[in-house]
Chains A and B, each alone.
Chain A
Amino acid sequence: MQYTLTHLQQLEAESIHVIREVAAEFQRPVMLYSIGKDSSVLLHLARKAFLPGKIPLPLMHVDTQWKFQDMYRFRERMVQDYGAELLVWINPDGKDRINPIDHGSEKHTQIMKTEGLKQALTHHGFDAAFGGARRDEEKSRAKERVFSFRNAHHQWDPRNQRPELWNIYNTKVSAGESIRVFPLSNWTETDIWLYIMREKIPIVPLYFAKVRPVVRRGGALIMVDDARLPLEPGEIPMQKMVRFRTLGCYPLTGAVESDAETLEEIVRELLLATTSERQGRVIDFDGAASMEEKKKDGYF
């Protein structure tokens, strides 16, 4: 009989508690599914939370149309493996029109992600939406609640958050309002990887190092994932052994040079790393405190 929980077991228990609380208290919850590793962990935890039953809520992917092709393939595989209901939402106002190359990362993210998400939540009338965000990712996330209240316009007010004590969560909302729920709040990047390793959770192959065609832009290695990425005059894609520490829209996500082809090698690389995972994300560098501004506006 084991009387003490390791920190991973404790995190797992706390996340399951949060997931069940949402299923028990909300009318129409949804799990935002971004296809990344955190989403994989979230999905795995959701399955555990309701075994031997099924996950009693749908998944939703707010698609920007600019994800890596590997991610779309992986998404379909997961839906089959988990037998989950998947909703896909593409902002109709920006569909096939807005892209990160012609309109810039800020506008693309604003329209396809932030606006798209808000439309989708309103359209389906969801009163709770799970996200895989972690507090260790970025400064303004460090004070995000596990149950984060959003008004009817999906906005976050960092100065007026509900106090959150013990593991007692206030789930009350009025019509139109909603709660963003972050079961992975207390996990770190290392915890996520160790858990993926321990539980053998499937993740998108892009996390593993492989020779891929990339171009160097503004210090970041951008993968030429399909023909939509216009090359600068004279720019020739290099074949480099790279992998991704974080996944988003491919023109906005920098690869890192790496030889880590297995989970064990990824964990080793991570433990010895000297830079943070969000360094590869272009959008965080749009302006000082930029994540906070996006979050106030409704970004996850």
Chain B
Amino acid sequence: MESTHPAHLAPASPHRDDALIRSDLGAYLKRHEGKDLLRFLTCGAVDDGKSTLIGRLLYDCHLVYEDQLAAVMKDSKVHGTTGGGFDPALLADGLKAEREQGITIDVAYRYFSTEKRTFIIADCPGHEQYTRNMATGASNCNLAIILIDARHGVITQTRRHSFICSLLGIRHVLVAVNKMDLVGWSEEVFEKLRADFNECAARLEFSDIHFIPLSALSGDNVVRLSTNLPWYHGPTLLHHLENINIVTDRNLIDMRFPVQYVIRPNLDFRGFAGTLGSGVVRRGDEVIALPSRRTARVKSIHTPAGERDAAVAPMAVVLTLDREVDVSRGDLLTPVHNQARVDHQLEAMLVWMGEELMAVNRSYLVKLASATVPGQVSSIRYKVDVNTMRRAEGSLADTALSLNELARCHLTLHRAVAWDAYRRNRVTGAFILIDRLTNLTVAAGMIMDRVSPVDRPAAKERTLSAFHSLVVPQEREALLRQRGCTVWLTGLSGSGKSTLAQRLEKALVEAGHACCILDGDKLRHGLTSDLGFSAADRSENIRRVSEVAGLMNDAGVICITSLISPYAVDRARARAIVNSDEARAGRFLEIHVSTPLAVCEQRDPKGLYKKARAGLIEEFTGVSDPYEAPEQCELVLDTSLRSPEESVRLLLGLLIERGMLA
């Protein structure tokens, strides 16, 4: 490796505009003021070449100082694995013990910056016993580089690393297929590996996966485009890191402000200091403190740069409120109309990190955002085998967890705290468990979408009783000259549901009928703003809409819903909710808007198909998620074959036929 001798190291970096730094530093800094920060982790098995890749990245970006390099050149002769030649891995490996063993034993952080971006690398170990270190490294990252040795392909460790990354909420993955030189730069090997990885990632929640063939040792495709891979037309590793879009990873919708510290320098000022976990806060916003449920308006916002009208996550700010409310550390401020859940029961995925076994019903401290409360794991639902990414067989009756095990658990806290699901919010959905005797951090937890109903079987029966109105439905029907019912439009995105809903609503109102549209997109801004698009969230979305539709029908209103509602089981449930008893039977009218996928995709009014095909949207119905067409429904309408007028006529005909319109 003579060519990499320090004497050949040019201090001027091709990734830095040295001329501008010399001539006009102010202009240079101005240009780079807006650089953002990308945190990524590198994971791979023991000999996949992780440290070599990091060393190579730093070296080829000319970010290694001469004295550091001199030390490495000296070390290469003693510890190096390259026969005394320059070993880039030694630039990355830290501690003495691991240098001697030739392995990395903990998460090490590296820093570098190019003209486009600033980076923090969390370098994570690859051994079986260090799942906890990977989870630690992944918890603050946006992107993961998963290294694969081209000679070995996708192995168990690859699956494990991918799964942990996905679990910790990493959405962007870069698969670095290393040691391509040792497989003769073979396209066939690379393509096989790509297919294998995609298969393993199908069950995971990545929003994009990119593959780059490279050789970390020789530097091919790391920073410099390789000439050994003429069949590869993609970017280098660095180019990809510099350009991937991470802005959309932040949750800017749900304002969450964990109160960290109260600043009270004098009687006139009472400020709530903390780091905005997500969303935007503006002066005048009405906020509620959870779990105490006291409300107030934001009077002023103090940022590190002075007082401002608004602040965005993840700024560290101080808020003052317009009235004296008893708010303290551990409380969460949220908008009144978009609150976190407050509960002392929660479901979470736990990564056990303690040497000592976790015991069910033992008391631990749960630290969640700024709140610390005692709590216990009341049951283990199931363990997850990180290697197969499936439920571990026979784990249902388990009452203990050991180091590096993963399990979905039910937790009972000694008092209620405010939280969100982790996939919606990393700040209010994550927690750690602390052993009360040893003070060690023994687990990391990620809150799952909802508490399973089996946990409170009796609650409904215990506290609720049936309510009876003094008005009978017939009185209402006579008054309104109609019977409340639900026209449930189901079909692909772009199938024409919204257009039909609008036309039908207009026709009904013009004919003197009370009706309204429950539009999926509109509801997602309010009633169901806490939900995403996973199967579980979609089904909860539909449940809520059904309940609302049923209530409106009770009030005598004709309700038109416009939701994709792709799963048959959810629609069946919607039907059951709307037609909840004998008096309500027959109110649910399921209309399949059956416009073919090709037509919907061609229309693509919101550009969603295009994004979904580009892999930018996960779980998109028709592209990456199934649409289960109704086997039986009240009406089928294909808007590519019928005009809107004709479709509306058919719908009105159905309503009259079913006795909904007088």
Contacts and interface: CB of A to CB of B under 8 A. Distances in A.
B316 A174 contact: no
A88 B461 CA distance: 67
B363 to A, nearest CB: 14
B133 to A, nearest CB: 7
Contacts of A12: 304, 316
B247 A4 contact: yes
Interface stretch (B107-115, B289-297, B475-483): B107-115
Contacts of A188: 111, 113
B264 interface: yes
B109 A165 contact: no
Interface stretch (B22-30, B178-186, B598-606, B616-624): B22-30
Interface string A172-208: 1110010000000110101000100000000000000
A13 B304 contact: yes
Interface in A20-49: 20-21, 23-24, 48-49
Given A48-B304, A272-B18, A276-B65, A20 B260 contact: yes
B66 interface: yes
A102 to B, nearest CB: 28
A288 B96 contact: yes
A236 interface: no
B650 interface: no
Contacts, number: 192
B115 to A, nearest CB: 11
A135 B39 CA distance: 15
Contacts of B269: 52-53
B254 interface: no
Contact of B316 (A13, A53, A190, A267): A13
A264 B28 CA distance: 11
A162 B314 contact: no
A163 B133 contact: yes
B61 to A, nearest CB: 13
Contacts of B441: 162-165, 170
Given A140-B94, A264-B25, A163 B132 contact: yes
B434 interface: yes
A174 B439 contact: yes
A166 to B, nearest CB: 5
Interface in A257-279: 264, 267-268, 271-276, 279
A51 B264 CA distance: 10
B426 interface: yes
A182 to B, nearest CB: 11
B96 A165 contact: no
B594 interface: no
B118 A166 contact: no
A227 interface: no
A165 B139 contact: yes
A292 B33 contact: no
Contacts of B368: 168
A274 B66 contact: yes
Most A Cβ at <10 Å: residue of B99, B107, B310: B107
Given A17-B275, A292-B95, A292-B96, A168 B365 contact: no
A101 interface: no
Contacts of B333: none
Nearest to B302: A51
Contacts of B427: 166-167
A166 B426 contact: yes
Nearest to A271: B21
Contacts of B155: none
A3 B440 CA distance: 37
B94 A173 contact: no
Interface in A147-170: 158-159, 161-168, 170
Nearest to A138: B94
A9 interface: yes
Contact of B264 (A53, A164, A289): A53
Interface in B109-157: 109-111, 113, 118, 120, 132-133, 135-136, 139-140
Contact of B120 (A163, A177, A186, A274): A186
B252 to A, nearest CB: 7
Contacts of B353: 163
B261 A24 contact: yes
Contact of B29 (A135, A174, A194, A276): A194
Given A163-B353, A165-B432, A273-B65, A267 B304 contact: no
A104 B479 CA distance: 100
Given A13-B304, A143-B94, A6 B33 contact: yes
Contacts of B274: 20
A172 B247 contact: no
Contacts of A48: 304
B449 to A, nearest CB: 19
A216 interface: no
B35 interface: yes
27 contacts: A3-B280, A5-B312, A9-B315, A10-B314, A13-B316, A14-B316, A16-B304, A51-B263, A142-B94, A143-B95, A143-B107, A163-B133, A163-B444, A164-B441, A165-B139, A165-B444, A168-B430, A168-B431, A170-B434, A186-B111, A190-B113, A264-B25, A268-B22, A273-B65, A274-B66, A275-B66, A289-B96
Interface of A: 1-14, 16-17, 20-21, 23-24, 48-54, 135-136, 139-140, 142-143, 158-159, 161-168, 170, 172-174, 177, 185-186, 188, 190, 194, 264, 267-268, 271-276, 279, 288-289, 292
Given A11-B37, A13-B304, A158-B106, 7 more contacts: A1-B309, A6-B34, A50-B273, A163-B136, A168-B369, A170-B441, A264-B25
